[in-house]
């Protein structure tokens, strides 16, 4: 079983985010879900982004990275959208990372380290109808990351928008979300 640091998206720790974490726990994994918003969550992405801007993206990145303090070196770092920043940075720079799961986002190689670390598997999930993932360079960053990793997988989901794997968002797609969950659980079982 894996230790997982799962970082929330801009809407915070929504019920759907927490349900995803609970599904990983139910499969026997230890899942840490730090709350970078101090208990606040938001019904819309616009509200959540306003909160993220008020805190500052750099501050959120540093808080997400600091959330790994005290966790085993062999942790899997995972994030939804905004949470991908810290998850990917930890996977690329914290020695001993066991793996990375990036949902709804990917950061270009070179942002945190020039290369993907040897021996760190990665799985990336994105919606084909997600304007952020498909149109703002995330899918290109995801392709580069999975190509650079010796064990990298990129999964895209037809018609799915941003945050489609979170049951509490308007973009939620139950079938695609269930597939994400199955694929993430299979990844955690093999890393």
DSSP SS3 for 101: strand
Residues 125 and 155: their CA atoms lie apart, in Å, by 5
Asked if 10 and 85 touch (Cβ cutoff 8 Å), the reply is no
pLDDT tens-digit readout, 66-91: 999 999 999 999 999 999 999 999 99
pLDDT tens-digit readout, 132-184: 999 999 999 999 999 999 999 999 999 999 999 999 999 999 999 999 999 99
Q: What's the predicted TM-score (pTM) here? A: 0.97
pLDDT tens-digit readout, 14-34: 999 999 999 999 999 999 999
Residues 132 and 69: their CA atoms lie apart, in Å, by 30
Residue 132 is predicted with a pLDDT of: 95
Which domains does the chain show, CATH number per domain?
22-190 (3.40.50.1820)
Residue 57 is predicted with a pLDDT of: 97
Residue 182 is predicted with a pLDDT of: 98
Residue 23 is predicted with a pLDDT of: 98
- Which residues, 6+ apart, have CB-to-CB distance to 18 below 8 Å? 33
Tokens of 182: 């199955």
């Amino acid at each position: 079983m894996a230790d997982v640091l799962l970082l929330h998206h801009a809407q915070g720790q929504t019920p759907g985010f927490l349900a995803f974490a609970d599904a990983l726990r139910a499969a026997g994994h230890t899942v840490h879900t730090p709350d970078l918003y101090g208990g606040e969550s938001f019904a819309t992405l616009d509200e959540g982004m306003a909160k993220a801007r008020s805190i500052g993206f750099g501050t959120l990145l540093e808080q997400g990275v600091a959330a790994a303090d005290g966790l085993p070196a062999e942790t899997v770092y995972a994030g939804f959208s905004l949470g991908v920043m810290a998850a990917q940075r930890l996977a690329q720079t914290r020695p001993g990372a066991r793996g990375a799961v990036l949902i709804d986002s990917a950061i270009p190689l070179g942002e945190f380290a020039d290369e993907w670390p040897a021996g760190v598997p990665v799985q990336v999930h994105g919606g084909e109808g997600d304007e952020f993932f498909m149109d703002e360079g995330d899918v290109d960053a995801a392709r580069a990351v999975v190509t650079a990793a010796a064990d990298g997988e990129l999964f895209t989901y037809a018609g799915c928008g941003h945050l489609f794997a979170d049951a509490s968002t308007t973009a939620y797609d139950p079938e695609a979300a269930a597939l994400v969950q199955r694929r993430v659980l299979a990844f955690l079982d093999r890393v």
